[in-house]
Chains A and B, each alone.
Chain A
Amino acid sequence: MTAAFGALVALNTAIARICTALISGLLGVLVVTMMLSVIMRYVFTSPLSWSDDLSLICLVWMTLLGLAAGMRAGHLAIEGLVQALPLPLAKLVNLAIHAAVLLLAVLVVHYGVAFVKQGMARIVPSMDWLRQGYIYAAIPVGFALIIPFCIEGALSQFLAPREREAA
């Protein structure tokens, strides 16, 4: 059990690291694209047609990959009520919440497939070789990546602190 949990934790650490690297890179591309766009418009007065769309693609993917990158630090939540509960009950609520987020992620991935398929019928006007579906894909991919984090969060409710640390 502890070994399996340890593997899960290691997997999540890897996901978080890769996502952090990816979103840093996407922000970098976004910034450079926007700089280029400003320079082309003001210095050379010949604006780029694709810079807005490319920046938005970076923005969307950065946001959704940021979902997994932020799971360890924890996303903003109202924790006061649960903290006031007696410990066993609080653990139960935490377990239920992790399960609910897991359910949400699975649903988003499931319905995200139809969403992406729909997007394949559409092009990005300034880059007409690109299908909108590849940008839509950020949503199911982003939510798929948080699934192992939800499992880790749920399981860790059952592990004693020492086991958690061992992992």
Chain B
Amino acid sequence: QDYTLRIAHAGPATMENDDYVGSTTLKEIIEANSDGRIAVDIYPGNQLGSYEEVMEQVNANALEVAHVSIGGVTPFVPELSVVDLQYILPNDEVAYAFMEGPFTDEIRDAVMAQLPNTRLVAVSDGGRWRSFFTTKPVQTAADLEGMKIRTISSPLQQEFVASLGAAATPVAWGELYTALSTGVVDGTKNGTPDIMSNKFNEVVSHVILDRHTFLFGYYFISDEWLNALPEDLQTVVLDGFTEAAARQTEFNAETEDAANAAFEEAGGTIYTPTEADRETFLGARQAMQDWYVEKYGEEWLQKMLDAVSEAEAAVAAKN
């Protein structure tokens, strides 16, 4: 082989994990289509560093590809936390259309303005919708009041939980199981696949599928490395990313259904909120947008809302 592409991601090295499925697809396609001239090495489980750190490595051309969530982007461009704002994306179809739309180019340009060598080449579904998993049943926002909900230590996530009247409690991922089983926290916001693969269903028995945020996965490549490839190989690599992202998206949709089924089978209760019950959560949507504007200004929020409207229109036109 003449070139090596190393890709780093967070998930564990198992075909039950969407990151790994994405990376593996990338490996298969690029190695086959380049006739073995490019070798792909996968570094799962954050072993090369955290999201921010692998982004810096790509920017220094010391790593070829970083596959991160929005958490890998916001430390460099805080405004981009706009894609994490709650209850803006209504459903799968719109989320997919949004992903395909021009907003992705905006993200690419904004990141390259800060990290000139770090080019966004593909976006995928990075782990489905986040919902509230709790030890007690929750049907309306009022039920969440006073509950201690685990978040990562991100101001946006903490603010969101607080705006629903719950107490945001930062707990390390590795300690979450015990924290849930002993009542240090009463719930956590995740996707069902995460819950099932970490056996958290043993300690949380209820989920309300409020689907507040859609998780995206972003593939960033070292621009210098990409440009140094012969043109035919550049095409091979870029096509590889498109397919890997598509495969990951497809895998996540399949996994979520299976995970939800497994959650119920293991004794968990799934509540899909009625229109009226979901309405009770939407106060938080406006509160979070106000909070965002105060912190980062109108510009990116407007871009985001416009992009979502466009995506909705595109979906409507297609149906």
Contact = CB atoms under 8 A, between A and B. Distances in A.
In their complex, do chains A and B touch, with some C-beta pair under 8 Å? yes
B75 A47 contact: no
A125 B151 CA distance: 14
Contacts of A47: 167-170
Contacts, number: 42
Nearest to A119: B56
A122 to B, nearest CB: 5
A47 B115 CA distance: 33
Interface in A112-151: 114, 118-119, 121-126, 128, 132
B60 interface: yes
Q: What interface size band does chain B fall in?
A: 10 to 19
Contacts of A46: 167
Contacts of A122: 52, 56, 75-76
A52 B170 contact: yes
A123 B167 contact: no
A152 B230 CA distance: 53
Interface string A5-46: 000000000000000000000000000000000000100011
Contacts of B135: none
Contacts of B52: 122, 132
A47 B158 CA distance: 10
Contact of B155 (A52, A118, A125, A132): A125
A123 B115 contact: no
A35 B154 CA distance: 21
The B interface, classified by DSSP as helix, strand, loop or mixed, is: mixed
A78 to B, nearest CB: 29
B66 to A, nearest CB: 14
Contacts of A128: 78, 155
A74 B56 CA distance: 34
B167 A45 contact: yes
Contacts of B46: none
B155 A121 contact: no
B160 to A, nearest CB: 13
Contacts of B76: 121-123
A125 B153 contact: yes
B167 A118 contact: no
A114 B61 CA distance: 13
B59 interface: yes
Given A49-B153, A49-B158, A118-B56, A123 B168 contact: no
Contacts of B154: 125
Most chain A C-beta atoms within 10 Å of own C-beta, residue among B56, B60, B78: B56
Contact of A132 (B59, B75, B158): B75
A122 B52 CA distance: 8
Contacts of B169: 41, 47
Contacts of B78: 123, 128
A125 B167 contact: no
A30 B162 CA distance: 27
Interface string B77-114: 01000000000000000000000000000000000001
A126 B152 CA distance: 11
Interface in A84-116: 114
